[in-house]
Amino acid sequence: MIRAIDIRKSFGSNEVLKGISAEFYQGKTNLLIGRSGAGKTVMLKLLVGLMKPTEGTVWYGDTDFTALNKHQKKAIRQDIGMLFQGNALFDSLTVEENVRFPLDMFTKMTKKEKLDRVNFCLDRVTLAGNNHKYPGEISGGMQKRVGIARAIVLEPKYLFCDEPNSGLDPKTSIVIDELIREITIDNNITTIINTHDMNSVMEIGDNIALLHLGELAWVGNKSEVMESDNQLLQDFIFASPFLQRLRRQFVDKS
Amino acid sequence: MKLNFLEEFGRYLILLKTMFAPPENFTMYRKETFRQMHDIGVGSLSIIGLIAFFIGAVTAVQFAYQLEGSFIPSYYIGYIVRDSTIIELAPTISCLVLAGKVGSNIAAEIGGMRQKEQIDALEIMGVNTAAYLVGPKIFAGCVVIPFLVIIAAGISMAGGYLAAVSSGFVTPNDYLLGLRSFFESYYVFMMIVKAIVFGFILTSIACYKGFYVSGGSIELGKASTQAVVLSNIMILIADYTIALLLT
């Protein structure tokens, strides 16, 4: 479990996060949602330690991550896998080399063991047989899956995903969402997804935190979204007139 | 974010300090270092060779022109080409060119990695990014650039030979006699010291500019240009300082 307690972050005089406290549970897909500029990416970067909060603490289990020094953080970071918005794959390395990179860097496995692990992860994300392709030779959805394979290759306890659906068509987005959800449940890990994709919210939102202008506006799960009368949540989820009509029909029926 | 000179210099020193950390995996660092050595060394041979050839040729022809009608023996052409090449032209001109070729390449490579979040990805994995991305490049530069400079000096003298002999300014024997006359091995030591220092300057400044780039492609272009301009200025200042200290 990861806990953020009273997180504040300012850039100069601009306060981007204004005292956010939230809990992210093990074995669940935890979603950070909100409109562009709500502070989701900053929150995610604070949680993984790419940025330091101006105030507040981040706890990994019983460990205050924000109080650790660089070397102590390194140990926790090897339990973290992250899928980046732009995938952050190394262009000059093949799919296999990209996924194998953390194994090469941090383990003393034999070549065969590494290859077996890489193939297992590629198989897990349904990319078996694409070992020798370069990131530039595969589609955006496949690149996302390579990113996921690389993120899980060291069997992390925590998985962070920054906008995993950006740039993908709705069908591929659902495939990626399902994949992340399966991995979360199968490996019993804490997954935090930063998204503004409504489909993700309704499909995999076990624990949802809505950020609005740097503040926590709503917390709940996907089954509570429909019934909630939080205006900010409704404005965000049911942004189009079509979706608003659908929601009205749903509420009327129920 | 605008930084003043002292802040920039402090951040540069911190980056260099962070670089000296025990590697997570020695084999990976060794591989990366050899890759950089190949990129810097083999990748720059042709441009360095071409420039060195013409520098030697021009030096020989210019000096031969100055000698015309004087009582100075023609074999001095070889001597002047050798010493000017070894002391100044091979290390300084080569490294100014390398600052443009290698420096801009390094700044663009690291800056591109920053923009594509690849550096963030490495940090999340627990890799010391300064050590893994910057260290091998600086080490490779300091090792390979002296060899490039030595090769440049040899090609420059060959260029001088071809230009001076083919133009009839000097006989082959006289040119070779000049190359062998009044030789001071200390000048070779100076050349290598300069090459190592310049190699450090051009790779470290390029790494620094690339590592801290922020923004989009315009900022990346600016960082790359700044790396080249700043490296050139620092190489010239270091050249003067080394000349004062070692002569």
Instruction: Judge: A50–B123 Cβ closer than 8 Å, yes or no.
Output: yes
Interchain contact B17–A (C-beta under 8 A)? no
- Rounded CA separation B146/B142 (Å): 7
Give Cβ neighbours of residue B215 (< 8 Å, ≥ 6 apart).
none
Confidence bin at B69 (pLDDT 50/70/90)? confident
The rounded percent of chain B whose pLDDT value lies above 70 is 99
Identify whether residues A188 and A238 lie together within a single domain: yes
Segments forming the whole domain that contains residue A116: 96-155
Name the domain boundary from A134, A155, A176. Answer: A155
Q: What is the pLDDT of residue A231?
A: 86
CATH code: domain of residue A236: 3.40.50.300
Name the domain boundary from A105, A137, A155. Answer: A155
Identify whether residues A132 and A179 lie together within a single domain: no
At residue A179's C-alpha, the angle toward residues A198 and A140, to 5°, is: 75
Instruction: Judge: A105–B123 Cβ closer than 8 Å, yes or no.
Output: no
The ipTM (two decimal places) reads 0.84
Give Cβ neighbours of residue B106 (< 8 Å, ≥ 6 apart).
B137, B203, B206, B207, B210, B227
Task: Looking at the complex, report in whole angstroms how far the Cα of residue A220 sits from the nearest Cα belonging to chain B.
Answer: 28
- For every residue of A138-162, DSSP letters joined together read S-HHHHHHHHHHHHHTT--SEEEEE
Average pLDDT over every residue of B159-176: 93
- Rounded CA separation B99/B93 (Å): 10
Q: What is the pLDDT of residue B95?
A: 96
Q: Is residue A88 part of a domain?
A: no
Identify whether residues A139 and A172 lie together within a single domain: no
Q: Is residue A223 part of a domain?
A: yes
Q: Decide if B79 contacts B186 (C-beta within 8 A).
A: no
Give the neighbor-by-neighbor strand order of the sheet with A80-83: A80-83, A158-162, A190-195, A29-33, A207-212, A215-220
Q: Is residue A240 part of a domain?
A: yes
Q: What is the pLDDT of residue B218?
A: 92
Interchain contact B244–A (C-beta under 8 A)? no
Q: Decide if A95 contacts A130 (C-beta within 8 A).
A: yes
Interchain contact B125–A (C-beta under 8 A)? yes
Q: Is residue A103 part of a domain?
A: yes
Best residue of B124, B128, B132 to probe chain A, by most A CBs closer than 10 Å: B124
**pLDDT greater than 60 at residue B1:** no
Identify whether residues A70 and A113 lie together within a single domain: no
Q: Is residue A175 part of a domain?
A: yes
Interchain contact B225–A (C-beta under 8 A)? no
Find how far residue B76's CA is from the centre of its chain.
Answer: 28
Identify whether residues A66 and A177 lie together within a single domain: yes
List of chain A residues whose C-beta atoms are within 8 Å of the C-beta of residue B126: 74-75, 77-78, 106
Identify whether residues A120 and A230 lie together within a single domain: no
List, for residues B173-229, the tens digit of each pLDDT value: 999 999 999 999 999 999 999 999 999 999 999 999 999 998 888 999 999 999 999
Q: Is residue A89 part of a domain?
A: no
Instruction: Judge: A50–B118 Cβ closer than 8 Å, yes or no.
Output: no
List of chain A residues whose C-beta atoms are within 8 Å of the C-beta of residue B121: 82, 84, 88
Name the domain boundary from A155, A186, A202. Answer: A155
Closest CA to B94 of B58, B142, B50: B50
Instruction: Judge: B125–A84 Cβ closer than 8 Å, yes or no.
Output: no
Where on the phi/psi map is residue B2: left (φ > 0), alpha (ψ -120 to 50), or beta?
Answer: beta
Q: What is the pLDDT of residue A173?
A: 85
Question: Rounded to the nearest 5°, which phi and psi values hold at A117?
Answer: -65, -45
Strand ranges in chain A using DSSP code E only, listed in sequence order: 2-11, 14-24, 29-33, 55-60, 63-64, 80-83, 158-162, 190-195, 207-212, 215-220
Instruction: Judge: A106–B124 Cβ closer than 8 Å, yes or no.
Output: no
List of chain A residues whose C-beta atoms are within 8 Å of the C-beta of residue B20: none
Q: Which residues of chain A have pLDDT under 50?
A: none
Q: Is residue A85 part of a domain?
A: no
Identify whether residues A132 and A8 lie together within a single domain: no
Identify whether residues A237 and A121 lie together within a single domain: no
Identify whether residues A28 and A135 lie together within a single domain: no
Identify whether residues A112 and A187 lie together within a single domain: no
Instruction: Judge: B125–A50 Cβ closer than 8 Å, yes or no.
Output: no
Write down the mean pLDDT value for chain B: 93
**Helix, strand or coil, per DSSP, at residue A243:** helix
Domain range list for chain B: 43-246
Which residue from A81, A84, A105 is facing B24, i.e. has the nearest CB?
A: A105
Identify whether residues A230 and A136 lie together within a single domain: no
Q: What is the pLDDT of residue B2?
A: 61
- Rounded CA separation A196/A237 (Å): 9
Q: Decide if A193 contacts A161 (C-beta within 8 A).
A: yes
Q: Decide if B178 contacts B77 (C-beta within 8 A).
A: yes
- Rounded CA separation A87/A125 (Å): 14
Q: Is residue A131 part of a domain?
A: yes
Interchain contact A74–B (C-beta under 8 A)? yes
Q: Decide if B124 contacts A50 (C-beta within 8 A).
A: yes
Which residue from B25, B120, B126 is facing A104, i.e. has the nearest CB?
A: B25
Average pLDDT over every residue of B35-42: 94
Buried b or exposed e, range B18-30, using 16+ CB within 10 angstroms: bbeeebbbeebbe
Identify whether residues A168 and A147 lie together within a single domain: no
Interchain contact A152–B (C-beta under 8 A)? no
Partners of A82 in the β-ladder: A160
| Position A103, amino acid | L
Average pLDDT over every residue of B48-76: 91
Q: What's the number of domains chain A is made of?
A: 2
List, for residues B94-112, the tens digit of each pLDDT value: 999 999 999 999 999 999 9
- Rounded CA separation A218/A222 (Å): 12
